[in-house]
Structure 1
Amino acid sequence: MDFVESGKDVNDENRQLQHNAIEDKYNVSKRGGWTTFPFILGSILTLTLAAGGWIGNLIVYLITKYNVKSIDATQIFNVVLGCLSLFPLVGAILSDSFFGSFAVIAVFSSVSLLGVTLMTLTASFPSLRPSPCVNMMLPCPSPSKLQYGVLYAILALACIGIGGTRFTIASMGADQFEDPNSIGSYFNWYFFSFYVAGVISTTLIIYVQDNVSWAVGFGICVVCNLVGVILFLSGKKFYRKVKPKGSPFTSIARVIVAAVRKRKVSLANQEYNYDINDKSTTVPSDSFRFLNHGALKIESDGLKARSWSLSTVQEVEDLKTLIKIMPLWSSSVMLSAIVGMFNNFIILQALSMNRHLGGSNFQIPASSFLALDILATSITISILDRVIFPTWQKLIGWPITSLQRIGVGHVLNGVGLIAAALVEVRRLHTARDHHLVGLAMGASATTIVPVSALWLMVPLTVMGVSQAFLFPGQISLYYQEFPESLRSTSTAMISLLVAVGFYLSTAITGLIRDSTGWLKDDLNNGRLDLVYWVLAAIGVVNFGYFLVCAKMFQHKVDKNDSSS
């Protein structure tokens, strides 16, 4: 009797386990999709608000509260932006190779919350900042080493947190969908939310910081970041989680190491290692032949399909494709540096111009002018995709290629720099006419010139239109031309070139300041217009380099394919 009852218990337990397994499988299948949309989109919106709220006004905060000289503030700002563009690559590697998207986003968004919270404390407690600059005719007190150390540590935490979250959460959101239409719709909402949050943060939050209180403004960023973390974690049971697949950079490194190890082995009459799913048996291409050593099969390799001594032919060819596109990729690095310097100098120009609307007391925050750039970019992208490009294809018969979009962006970038130079010429002439040259010495002491800052709308709009051609063109080009196994890396490469560009802009700014007298902390005593002309000239040379690279570039697809 006991034996029968125990047998029933075992059967009941087995049935329960089977039922639980079926239920778990059913629950997993229910995960993902549009159920996750409010959690992910809400997180993107609030985290972007938090990031834009403190990043967008950082130059002004450093100048007015830390007494950092204006040009030094722009260089610090460039380093911060470089880190923000570099850490998405780190976040992508950690997510793809080790921990998965959910864990990476949860940790990095919490780190950004800590950084923004500490930033709020610097605005709340005067002891964390140098003494205020009272007499503008005298040099302002500089931050102590401890104050600088605390500031840099806070900036590092905020950069790591925001940079590691920004693109990882975008990829995780796309992983929640299976059909291409839903993924496309999701990305439309993603970019819409990203731009909306950017405009709100560079207008409303920055206005609070400039006109109400820095502590309150940063406090709003803390609340937004906290809401973003809570929203993201609240959707945990609904997310479809993709297991780490391994970093594509591992295969790249393996090809290089294997090629070096077998560099002395002859390529003649050798057997090559092919991927088990690759039905092709063609010999590797002759370009960059040294890398072909990495796919050679020799007796010491044994039965291994992949190792640090053996790669597949496909991995070798993928690396070759990456090498071929690098010159074209490098032509955008200088462009990113120029854009970074332009954005910084525009803020300094706005600080030295009349920012009031008409005769009212309302004054536009200097950093809020960059919202015009964002608006111009987003509006232009919509017009191009819905009106200009379809009309062009109907009239001409073929679409505008990615390279042509990037080329137009190069040209408009130069036009924007020329417009900025002309605005600066007018501002300097007015400063001299009103005898406003050589009056101030403090960090934030550029004397206001009676020229409306609304003139800056012209170069900002042109640069925004330029970005509408450049950014989508670059994404489209790299996505099409990168090997299929490295397509997830294509957006990370764009982020990397932006990071390199911002670091380069810091170096160029320092070089111009040290070798000329054009960049002064009081713009009225300098020649920022000449700096713009030099940047425009550099842009022309870089455009020539781009044309050479574009002419020599061999598309992965057929050259006659208009989609290339």
Structure 2
Amino acid sequence: MEAPSEAQLPRRTGGWITFPFIIGYVYILTRNSILTKTASSVGLALAFVGWTCNLIVYLIKEFDVESIDAAQISNLVNGAGSLIPVVAAIIADSFLGCFSTIWISSLISLLGTILFALTATVDSLRPKPCEVGSTSGTPKPKVQSVVLYAAIVLATLGSGGTRSTLATIGAGQLADKPKDQGIFFNWFFFFWYSASVIASTAIVYVEDNVSWKAGFFICVASNVVALLIFLMGSKFYAKFKPEGSPFTSLARVIVASITKRQVALPSTAEDFFQGCNVVPKALAVVPSKTFR
């Protein structure tokens, strides 16, 4: 009997078996990111709406931050949250890979969530309320600001690390089935937006009407469960080695342009780089002196 070929052998990694683990991670982690900005795993602005509003309220009510300053902090967080995924994508493509980037970023975001929960739990990490009739409150110890801003920084870093990589690793599991990739993205974003709705209603309600402590610890638990679900599917994932990022190549072009700006231009087109294993005469367009 003829042995089955490699293409006929059962696939050991990748495919739809990874879908529940990735979607479970998204569903739980998105609820967390809306409220605490610590575990956003997909690059969608909607994931920040509920949390941004709650962050401003939390800073004003619990830390006596001026409304203008609280709004500026929220804007900085949103801006950084949009830029960090680009850096995370470069790191994932060039060095760590998507899987390592996701779980490392998740640990960072979990630490930020825990710090948020501590600020809502430990009295010494929050400013004392001003006395009735007093125009100025007690000066805030520096440790309170350090813990608060450390939580915000860690939360933002962890958020950015997952936003640009989770959808990528999910689509990578179906690389040999482009049609299934489209189906995956449909379900991926369906669960993502569904989780966003739950985050911006149910958990925000808990924070506003029960306590910040209860809301933040729900987020901590969600973050832990989400990370565990993601890691449980580790043996099923098809893990791809980093192959480099287009941003890295772009950076090399910029560096080479600066360092070689004094080099004389070649006289023949054959001296220009035409790409790997490409004969210059086979190109439709050859280099010209225009925009040299």
Q: TM-score range by the shorter chain?
A: 0.7 to 0.9
Q: Residues 216-247 of structure 1: CA distance to partner in whole angstroms, max 9, x if unpaired?
A: 00011111111110000000011011110112
Residue 180 of structure 1 deviates from its aligned partner by 1.9
- Cα distance change on mapping 1:278 and 1:224 into 2, 3 Å: farther
Residue 184 of structure 1 deviates from its aligned partner by 1.1
- Cα distance change on mapping 1:197 and 1:258 into 2, 3 Å: same
Residue 202 of structure 1 deviates from its aligned partner by 1.3
2:210 is the alignment partner of 1:200: no
Structure 1 distance, partners of 2:290, 2:249, is 19
What amino acid is aligned across from residue 195 of structure 1 in structure 2?
A: Y
Structure 1 distance, partners of 2:132, 2:287, is 71
- Cα distance change on mapping 1:26 and 1:222 into 2, 3 Å: farther
Please name the residue that 2:238 is paired with: 240
What amino acid is aligned across from residue 38 of structure 1 in structure 2?
A: P
2:76 is the alignment partner of 1:79: yes
Please name the residue that 2:46 is paired with: none
Unaligned stretches of 5+ residues in structure 2 = 38-50
Please name the residue that 1:180 is paired with: 178
Please name the residue that 1:258 is paired with: 256
What amino acid is aligned across from residue 173 of structure 1 in structure 2?
A: G
Structure 1 distance, partners of 2:177, 2:20, is 19
Residue 135 of structure 1 deviates from its aligned partner by 3.4
SS at match of 1:30: coil
What amino acid is aligned across from residue 264 of structure 2 in structure 1?
A: V
Structure 2 distance, partners of 1:228, 1:260, is 45
Please name the residue that 1:150 is paired with: 147
Unaligned stretches of 5+ residues in structure 1 = 1-18, 290-564
2:104 is the alignment partner of 1:122: no
- Residue pair 1:66, 1:142 contacting (<8 A) in 2 also: no
What amino acid is aligned across from residue 169 of structure 1 in structure 2?
A: L
Please name the residue that 2:268 is paired with: 269
SS at match of 2:238: coil
Match 2:17 to one of 35, 56, 61: 35
Q: Which one is further off, 160-169 or 131-140?
A: 131-140
- Residue pair 1:43, 1:228 contacting (<8 A) in 2 also: yes
SS at match of 1:242: coil
- Residue pair 2:93, 2:242 contacting (<8 A) in 1 also: yes
- Cα distance change on mapping 1:287 and 1:140 into 2, 3 Å: farther
Structure 1 distance, partners of 2:133, 2:26, is 42
Please name the residue that 2:287 is paired with: 284
Structure 2 distance, partners of 1:277, 1:270, is 15
Please name the residue that 2:63 is paired with: 66
The CA RMSD over aligned residues, in Å, is 2.3
Structure 2 distance, partners of 1:108, 1:162, is 7
- Residue pair 1:101, 1:172 contacting (<8 A) in 2 also: yes
Structure 2 distance, partners of 1:287, 1:125, is 66
Residue 141 of structure 1 deviates from its aligned partner by 4.3
Structure 2 distance, partners of 1:269, 1:42, is 58
Please name the residue that 1:213 is paired with: 211
Q: Residues 399-432 of structure 1: CA distance to partner in whole angstroms, max 9, x if unpaired?
A: xxxxxxxxxxxxxxxxxxxxxxxxxxxxxxxxxx
TM-score normalised per structure 1: 0.45
- Cα distance change on mapping 1:69 and 1:102 into 2, 3 Å: same
Q: Which one is further off, 238-247 or 141-150?
A: 141-150
Please name the residue that 1:160 is paired with: 157
- Cα distance change on mapping 1:265 and 1:156 into 2, 3 Å: same
- Residue pair 1:67, 1:142 contacting (<8 A) in 2 also: no
Please name the residue that 1:249 is paired with: 247
- Residue pair 1:67, 1:143 contacting (<8 A) in 2 also: no
Structure 1 distance, partners of 2:199, 2:147, is 24
- Cα distance change on mapping 1:137 and 1:192 into 2, 3 Å: farther
Structure 1 distance, partners of 2:118, 2:195, is 24
- Cα distance change on mapping 1:136 and 1:219 into 2, 3 Å: farther
Structure 2 distance, partners of 1:82, 1:244, is 27
Max Rg structure:
1
- Residue pair 1:99, 1:244 contacting (<8 A) in 2 also: yes
- Cα distance change on mapping 1:229 and 1:180 into 2, 3 Å: same
Q: Residues 523-564 of structure 1: CA distance to partner in whole angstroms, max 9, x if unpaired?
A: xxxxxxxxxxxxxxxxxxxxxxxxxxxxxxxxxxxxxxxxxx
Q: Residues 280-328 of structure 1: CA distance to partner in whole angstroms, max 9, x if unpaired?
A: 4332366642xxxxxxxxxxxxxxxxxxxxxxxxxxxxxxxxxxxxxxx
What amino acid is aligned across from residue 26 of structure 2 in structure 1?
A: I
Aligned residues: 267
Please name the residue that 1:529 is paired with: none
- Residue pair 1:67, 1:133 contacting (<8 A) in 2 also: no
- Residue pair 1:47, 1:228 contacting (<8 A) in 2 also: yes
Q: Residues 456-510 of structure 1: CA distance to partner in whole angstroms, max 9, x if unpaired?
A: xxxxxxxxxxxxxxxxxxxxxxxxxxxxxxxxxxxxxxxxxxxxxxxxxxxxxxx
- Residue pair 1:32, 1:239 contacting (<8 A) in 2 also: yes
SS at match of 2:244: coil
Residue 150 of structure 1 deviates from its aligned partner by 1.2
Structure 2 distance, partners of 1:239, 1:153, is 33
Residue 91 of structure 1 deviates from its aligned partner by 1.4
Residue 270 of structure 1 deviates from its aligned partner by 4.2
- Residue pair 2:25, 2:227 contacting (<8 A) in 1 also: yes
- Cα distance change on mapping 1:118 and 1:262 into 2, 3 Å: closer
What amino acid is aligned across from residue 162 of structure 2 in structure 1?
A: T
